[in-house]
A and B are shown apart, each in its own frame.
Chain A
Amino acid sequence: MSAINSPALDRRQFLKLGGMLGGGLIVGLQLPAQVLAAQPEASLTDLGAFIRIGHDNQVTLVMPMAEVGQGVYMAQSMLLAEELEVDVDTVKVLASPANAALYGNPAIGGYQVTGGSTTIRAFWTPLRQAGAVARTLLIAAAAQVWKVDPASCKASSGYVYDASGQRKLSYGELVDVAAGLPQPAADSVVLKTREQMTLLGKPHHRIDTPDKVRGKAQYGIDFQTANLKHAAIAVCPVLGGKPVAVDEAAIKAVRGVQQVVLTDEAVAVVADNTWAAMKGLRAASIQWDFGDNASVGMEEVVQQLDSESQQSGGLARNDGDVEKALASATTRLEAVYQLPFLSHAPMEPMNYTVEITDKRCDVWGGCQTLTLAQATVAQLTGLPPESVFINNFLMGGAFGRRLELDGMIHAVKVAKQVQGPVKVIWSREEDIQHGFYRPYYYDRLWGGLDAEGKPVAWFHRVSGSSIMARAFPGAFVNGVDPDGVEGAKEPPYEFDNIRVEFRRVEPRGVLTSWWRGVGPTHNVFMVESFIDEMAAAAKQDPASYRLALLGNNPRARQVLELALKQAGWGKQLPERHGLGVSVQFAFGSYLAMVAEVAVSEQGAVRCQRIHAVIDCGLTVNPDTVKAQIEGGAVFGLTAALYGAITVKDGQVQQSNFDTYQPVRMYEAPLVDVHIVDSLEAPGGVGETGTAAVFPAITNAVFAATGKRIRTLPINPSELKV
């Protein structure tokens, strides 16, 4: 997802409040006074607070962005703690409610969206400013108590010390005085330099780990409340179809079943417990009207892409004269690359608990798009948005899946027919078969080399679904999806003649959405495969070939050179083993990856080792950066080896982890991550490893076998000896 600046959110003003919620110091975003006056019983989150410091010294942070496993509980706490001068492990973290004005993501147009690897880039400054405002107030309060110059005082680990270091007051002792002082403007506080930072940039244990290893972490699926009912749901297997009839007697014969609910798209069985609901659904013998999409199949999808990709698309970039350069090139290359539909398949299956009364609607569950969720539920229920409460939870993985609201919409439609709270759980089969899939991409690339093998022309036409055009139509301008061309429009290499087009092709009967790595995950595969093809055509080493094209890109050069060194590029390898390389600039970070693979005589590809070097600018928690690249690489490896969602007769053919196979421990490579020490602006990391790994693997397969992979997932039968 591309960053879209929102001027309204660029300059944040903070507000402090005293005397509410039993006292303490609360620093939040500026709110009109009447909002506060109208909410005497307001909770911390209602106040749009970032921070509360209580009399008991407890620091509470309301996180604007949601935790999907990427470590933002920790990272956001560290950004705050660095400037607030408290021990990060003492920070208590709460999920924010839906409120874009208060918690909107400035990197995504002010929408309250957790996605696109933007959290650190968006909140690097605001969260540190919030901490610094609070610290400044607490120091001023101590100075007032001691009748000394605030400049002589110092804050450390939740205390303010005087000049001698002999006297100290805890933050809890100071909050009442601090709350009565005039507040400094957010942009008036001086933030620490890199050298002054004691927390940021150093590895630190995540604060969410202890609960996660004791089974105490609460995901949406774990929500419990009095009189909770449980529902199992079956959505029509064909998009746009509807239920016609069910065997109600058979369903109700199952012990514990309370109710059968039919919506316009689904059947749900409501019961005392999940098992009874699932059993009831199995007994339902649902008759569907499949509707107009019952004939959709892969042949149609691919044919449509093949034909439309032969026509020009929206122009994303056009430097020099590609046609002319291609015409005069010594060697011309042309390739079609295809990437399949992919499911996100997070470990926590889709689920939401919903309770609707005539006055309000509560939703409990993990969500990456809170304000959109609130507006959507308001529309479905007829309630005003302020009466809709989206209670966010830790997500058991998301990878983009919980950017979409279909799971919540289905649950609300069921809950409208149920008295009291109902938890609607999807089976794994429902989860795999009713996804918003990573689009099927069908890209054409044309390249031209001069007599020395140097590229003189680069023409990339991306063809596939535009998620932006559906979700943020305003960002789809002149036929170009800015996310759809990210990683293609600005490859790290210098080309005098480069043209990049986006051809929007929407498949019938298949929903598409963002998947971990968004635009770059597909484009980096195309770009890094095609540059490898050029190197091969030029009979040059693929790494040296790339380095020669990175003259004006020192950060890209550096990560590539280091990765090559770490991997021992050029070393002697056994038969049918190979090293493959990729280099990318995406999400504001530079990443180079070298993968080592072995290809068996039967064509099975095993990735044994990955060396990654990243320059993501200033880091918050380097261990989280490493973890994200390790995990991101495995996520991408799964897709490269096995990932494909296919449709036949309008229905998804995969259903569970047997037919939509994940990489397991015995196949997991050792991923070695090196972080370049960098003072550049922070870049995103959560999706970089996924984007980089596809071409690193396939280029390694080429090195091992001489076989170029242009369609994923890898087909072992094409690699047999």
Chain B
Amino acid sequence: MQLQINGKPYDLDVDDDMPLLWAIRDIVGLTGTKFGCGKALCGACTVMLNNQAIRSCLTPVSVAKGGSITTIESIDALPQGKALQQAWVELDVPQCGYCQSGQLMSATALLLSNAHPTDADIDGAMSGNVCRCGTYQRIRQAIKNAAQEV
């Protein structure tokens, strides 16, 4: 099966039902995308499929076949992703940092579809992403700052 990840084609010999998360982490070897809950409840595994945020822990590779997958390792190629990463650094958002790949992926997808999100838009797009360290207020501010930059 061929997957297009971060602009590169990968030929994978995996079952159709393997969640994209494990294909990305174990087979392709990109470990920036995290395992958190396995049930699409926490968002740590968020990647983009055709610029839409998806939970890779529940998305079978068969669904992603033929689509374009973007992971945390390549969002700096997008102006939105780059601005968000800079805003994250500027505000020192991460604590343990484990959920932050997923947070940034959801935020990137948000800015791709909505250049100037309101607080309610941000809450709507980001409430699927859990942060146990409690960095939410900095995430919200960083998204606003990045939106100004793009």
Q: Name the distance in Å between A141's Cβ and chain B's nearest Cβ.
A: 36
Determine if A275 and B19 form an interchain contact, defined as CB atoms under 8 angstroms apart.
yes
Determine if B98 and A348 form an interchain contact, defined as CB atoms under 8 angstroms apart.
yes
A230 to B35, CA, bound (A): 14
Query: Max chain A CB contacts within 10 Å: which of B32, B33, B129?
Result: B32
Determine if B92 and A206 form an interchain contact, defined as CB atoms under 8 angstroms apart.
yes
A428 within 8 A of B: yes
Contact with B along A637-660 (1 / 0, CB 8 A): 110000000000000000011100
A669 to B26, CA, bound (A): 37
Q: Which residues does chain B contribute within 8 Å of A219, judged by CB atoms?
A: 34, 98
Select A68's contact among B38, B96, B129, beta carbons within 8 Å: B96
Contact with A along B112-141 (1 / 0, CB 8 A): 000000000011101111111111111110
Query: Max chain B CB contacts within 10 Å: which of A216, A627, A669?
Result: A627
A396 to B137, CA, bound (A): 19
Contact with A along B83-106 (1 / 0, CB 8 A): 001001110111111111100100
Q: Which residues does chain B contribute within 8 Å of A205, judged by CB atoms?
A: 89-90, 92
Determine if A215 and B140 form an interchain contact, defined as CB atoms under 8 angstroms apart.
no
Q: Name the distance in Å between B12's Cβ and chain A's nearest Cβ.
A: 10
- On chain A, the number of residues with a Cβ less than 8 Å from chain B's Cβ atoms is 66
A70 within 8 A of B: yes
Determine if A665 and B34 form an interchain contact, defined as CB atoms under 8 angstroms apart.
no
Determine if A394 and B97 form an interchain contact, defined as CB atoms under 8 angstroms apart.
yes
Q: A206-B92, A347-B44, A657-B130 are in contact. Are A255 and B35 (CB under 8 A)?
A: no
Determine if A273 and B26 form an interchain contact, defined as CB atoms under 8 angstroms apart.
yes
Q: Which residues does chain B contribute within 8 Å of A395, judged by CB atoms?
A: 96
Within A51-107, the residues touching B (CB, 8 Å) are: 67-71
Q: A630-B137, A658-B39, A662-B130 are in contact. Are A209 and B32 (CB under 8 A)?
A: no
Q: Which residues does chain B contribute within 8 Å of A218, judged by CB atoms?
A: 31
Closest to B106 in A: A665
- On chain B, the number of residues with a Cβ less than 8 Å from chain A's Cβ atoms is 60
Determine if B96 and A215 form an interchain contact, defined as CB atoms under 8 angstroms apart.
no
A19 within 8 A of B: no
Determine if A656 and B22 form an interchain contact, defined as CB atoms under 8 angstroms apart.
no
Determine if A665 and B127 form an interchain contact, defined as CB atoms under 8 angstroms apart.
yes
Determine if B35 and A213 form an interchain contact, defined as CB atoms under 8 angstroms apart.
no
Q: Name the distance in Å between B25's Cβ and chain A's nearest Cβ.
A: 7
Determine if A630 and B122 form an interchain contact, defined as CB atoms under 8 angstroms apart.
no
Q: Which residues does chain B contribute within 8 Å of A658, judged by CB atoms?
A: 39, 41
Query: Max chain A CB contacts within 10 Å: which of B15, B36, B104?
Result: B36
Determine if B34 and A221 form an interchain contact, defined as CB atoms under 8 angstroms apart.
yes
Determine if B132 and A346 form an interchain contact, defined as CB atoms under 8 angstroms apart.
yes
Q: Name the distance in Å between A376's Cβ and chain B's nearest Cβ.
A: 24
Determine if A627 and B135 form an interchain contact, defined as CB atoms under 8 angstroms apart.
yes
B73 within 8 A of A: yes
Select A213's contact among B42, B100, B128, beta carbons within 8 Å: B100
Select B132's contact among A70, A221, A394, A397, beta carbons within 8 Å: A397
Query: Max chain B CB contacts within 10 Å: which of A396, A425, A427?
Result: A396
B76 within 8 A of A: yes
Select B136's contact among A216, A427, A623, A665, beta carbons within 8 Å: A665
Q: Name the distance in Å between B110's Cβ and chain A's nearest Cβ.
A: 12
Q: Which residues does chain A contribute within 8 Å of B85, judged by CB atoms?
A: 213-214
A638 to B12, CA, bound (A): 41
A668 within 8 A of B: yes
Closest to B142 in A: A213
Q: Which residues does chain A contribute within 8 Å of B137, judged by CB atoms?
A: 630, 668-671
A534 within 8 A of B: no
A664 within 8 A of B: yes
Query: Max chain A CB contacts within 10 Å: which of B89, B127, B132?
Result: B132
Query: Max chain A CB contacts within 10 Å: which of B41, B89, B97?
Result: B97
A493 within 8 A of B: no
A399 within 8 A of B: yes
Q: A209-B89, A397-B133 are in contact. Are A273 and B95 (CB under 8 A)?
A: no
A275 to B15, CA, bound (A): 10
Q: A347-B36, A670-B137 are in contact. Are A71 and B132 (CB under 8 A)?
A: no
Q: A273-B22, A347-B98 are in contact. Are A216 and B32 (CB under 8 A)?
A: yes
Determine if A345 and B89 form an interchain contact, defined as CB atoms under 8 angstroms apart.
no
Determine if B36 and A427 form an interchain contact, defined as CB atoms under 8 angstroms apart.
no
Determine if B94 and A209 form an interchain contact, defined as CB atoms under 8 angstroms apart.
yes
Q: A347-B44, A396-B34 are in contact. Are A630 and B138 (CB under 8 A)?
A: yes
Determine if A428 and B92 form an interchain contact, defined as CB atoms under 8 angstroms apart.
no
Q: A210-B89, A397-B98 are in contact. Are A634 and B44 (CB under 8 A)?
A: no
Contact with B along A456-493 (1 / 0, CB 8 A): 00000000000000000000000000000000000000
Determine if A630 and B72 form an interchain contact, defined as CB atoms under 8 angstroms apart.
no
Q: Which residues does chain A contribute within 8 Å of B96, judged by CB atoms?
A: 67-69, 346-348, 394-398
Closest to B19 in A: A275
Determine if B97 and A208 form an interchain contact, defined as CB atoms under 8 angstroms apart.
yes
Determine if B33 and A275 form an interchain contact, defined as CB atoms under 8 angstroms apart.
no
Query: Max chain B CB contacts within 10 Å: which of A347, A427, A638, A662?
Result: A347
A211 to B76, CA, bound (A): 13
Within B14-56, the residues touching A (CB, 8 Å) are: 14-15, 18-19, 22-23, 25-27, 29-39, 41-42, 44
Determine if A214 and B39 form an interchain contact, defined as CB atoms under 8 angstroms apart.
no
A217 to B93, CA, bound (A): 14
Q: A347-B130, A399-B132 are in contact. Are A215 and B89 (CB under 8 A)?
A: no
Q: Name the distance in Å between A575's Cβ and chain B's nearest Cβ.
A: 23
Determine if B94 and A668 form an interchain contact, defined as CB atoms under 8 angstroms apart.
no
Determine if B132 and A662 form an interchain contact, defined as CB atoms under 8 angstroms apart.
yes
A663 within 8 A of B: yes
Q: A665-B136, A666-B127 are in contact. Are A217 and B22 (CB under 8 A)?
A: no
A631 within 8 A of B: yes
Q: A623-B92, A627-B92, A631-B95 are in contact. Are A428 and B36 (CB under 8 A)?
A: yes
Q: Give B residues with C-beta under 8 Å from A.
A: 14-15, 18-19, 22-23, 25-27, 29-39, 41-42, 44, 71-73, 76, 85, 88-90, 92-101, 104, 122-124, 126-140
Given contacts A209-B93, A224-B29, A347-B44, 20 further A-B contacts (CB under 8 A): A69-B98, A71-B95, A205-B89, A212-B100, A213-B104, A214-B32, A214-B72, A216-B32, A275-B14, A348-B34, A630-B134, A630-B137, A635-B133, A656-B37, A662-B132, A663-B136, A665-B123, A665-B127, A665-B139, A668-B137
Name 13 A/B residue pairs within 8 A (Cβ), A-sorted.
A205-B90, A215-B30, A216-B32, A273-B14, A275-B26, A346-B96, A346-B132, A348-B36, A428-B42, A633-B134, A663-B134, A666-B127, A668-B134
| Closest 10 pairs between A and B when the two form their complex, measured CB to CB | A215-B32, A634-B134, A69-B96, A396-B98, A212-B97, A215-B72, A631-B134, A668-B136, A69-B95, A222-B31
